[in-house]
């Protein structure tokens, strides 16, 4: 399981003992610092007194319900709240968003899915200007300067190669169709999906084997720039 956890601190509010214990173990195994609360009324003040990067909140809780907690935290707590819900109606889902939930995960769920969503939320908060300059393997891609360095040396990519790499890097970990890449990276006269294959092949050659692993072919779609290429393919979407 891949995570951007670092020392991210997560509050889990869940009353069901087996779920709570598995969640805590799983999230800790994924590298998060986890605090558990099994009652709504006990959890009410926790995010106000302590710093949490994210809250995982069950909807049905003893003491104080999930929606009451969300109402209480609204405008007081800055960290995102992911709601775990066994409820299936649209109204419940809408209510969670109205009360400020950042996301929801329907029960039953894979821990893997929850971790992916937590990572997405935490990662999203740190995205910024730095994303324009990306380092992977022995490669530095400077999107603004339109320059790519391998082991510190400029590899002199052609304009189209640089465009293709920039398009992929700017949408890291997203699969892009050849058509999408061609439309975004190539000039009108060269919008040809097969041309994209040629550019990616040349990019892989120029960047070297270590960096080439990041430029993944995605079956049925096209290509993806993978920030963690050693993870199994299905770890990325």
Partner 1 sequence: MIRALQTLRRRFGFATAALVLLVGLALIFVALYSVARLRASRVSDFVRAVAKNPAVLDCSANPARFGQQMSDGSSLYAYDRRTGVSANRRAPPIDPTQLAEVQRGLDYSIKTNVLLGYGTVVIAVDRPSPCDVFQLQWRATSELRARTTLTFALILAVAIAIAVAGGALWVVRPLLDRLAHASRLASRVGRADAVMDTLSTGSRSVHEDELTEVESALRDAHTRILEDRAEIESKNRALAEHLADVAHDLKTPLSSLQLELEELSARLQDADLSAVAARALSDVVYIDSLVANLRVASELEEGDADRRAAQKIELGALIERCVSRVHPLARRRSIELACARPDEPVHVLGDVLHIERALMNLLQNAVTHHDAEGGDGHVAAVLERDETQWELRIVDDGPGVPPTVLPTVAERRKRSRSGDGEGLGLAIVAAVCEREQIELEFSREEPRGLRVTMRGALDAPPPSLS
Query: Shortest approach of partner 1 to residue 185 CB, angstroms?
Result: 12
Nearer to partner 1, 157 or 226 (CB): 226
Instruction: Please pick, from the candidates 71, 109, 150, 195, the single residue that binds partner 1 as defined by CB under 8 A.
Output: 109
Nearer to partner 1, 42 or 93 (CB): 93
Residues 57-96 that bind partner 1 (CB under 8 A): 84, 86-90, 93-94
Instruction: Work out whether 41 is an interface residue with partner 1 (CB under 8 A).
Output: no
Whole-number Å distance between alpha carbons of 225 and 5 = 21
Whole-number Å distance between alpha carbons of 199 and 138 = 20
Confirm if 215 and 203 have CB atoms less than 8 A apart.
Answer: yes
Q: Sign of the CA dihedral 95, 96, 101, 106?
A: negative
Helix, strand or coil, per DSSP, at residue 66: helix
Q: Sign of the CA dihedral 89, 97, 3, 234?
A: positive
Instruction: Work out whether 111 is an interface residue with partner 1 (CB under 8 A).
Output: yes
Other Cβ atoms less than 10 A from the Cβ of 199: the count is: 23
Whole-number Å distance between alpha carbons of 27 and 12 = 10
Q: What's the distance, Cα to Cα, between the start and end of the chain in Å?
A: 14
Interface with partner 1 (CB under 8 A), residue total 46
Instruction: Work out whether 176 is an interface residue with partner 1 (CB under 8 A).
Output: yes
Nearer to partner 1, 222 or 229 (CB): 222
Confirm if 39 and 7 have CB atoms less than 8 A apart.
Answer: no
Query: Shortest approach of partner 1 to residue 206 CB, angstroms?
Result: 25
Instruction: Work out whether 143 is an interface residue with partner 1 (CB under 8 A).
Output: no
Interface with partner 1 (CB under 8 A): 16, 18-19, 22-23, 25-26, 84, 86-90, 93-94, 97, 106-113, 116-117, 171, 174-177, 179-180, 184, 218-222, 224, 232-237
């Amino acid at each position: 399981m891949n995570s951007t956890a670092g020392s991210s601190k997560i509050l889990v509010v869940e009353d069901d003992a087996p779920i709570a214990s598995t969640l805590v173990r799983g999230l800790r195994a994924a590298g998060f610092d986890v605090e558990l609360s099994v009652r709504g009324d006990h959890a009410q003040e926790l995010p106000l007194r302590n710093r949490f990067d994210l809250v995982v909140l069950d909807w049905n809780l003893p003491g104080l319900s999930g929606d009451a907690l969300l109402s209480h935290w609204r405008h007081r707590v800055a960290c995102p709240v992911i709601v775990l819900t066994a409820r299936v109606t649209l109204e419940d889902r809408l209510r969670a968003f109205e009360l400020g939930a950042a996301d929801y995960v329907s029960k039953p769920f894979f821990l893997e899915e929850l971790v992916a969503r937590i990572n997405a939320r935490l990662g999203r908060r740190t995205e910024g200007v730095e994303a324009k300059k990306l380092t992977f393997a022995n490669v530095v891609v400077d999107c603004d300067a339109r320059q790519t360095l391998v082991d510190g040396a400029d590899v002199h990519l052609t304009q189209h190669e640089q465009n293709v790499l920039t398009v992929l890097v700017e949408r890291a970990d997203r699969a892009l169709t050849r058509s999408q890449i061609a439309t975004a990276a190539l000039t009108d006269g060269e919008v040809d999906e097969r041309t994209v294959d040629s550019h990616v092949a040349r990019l892989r050659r120029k960047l070297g084997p270590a960096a080439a692993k990041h430029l993944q072919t995605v079956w049925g779609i096209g290509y993806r720039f993978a920030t963690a290429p050693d993870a199994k393919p299905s770890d990325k979407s």
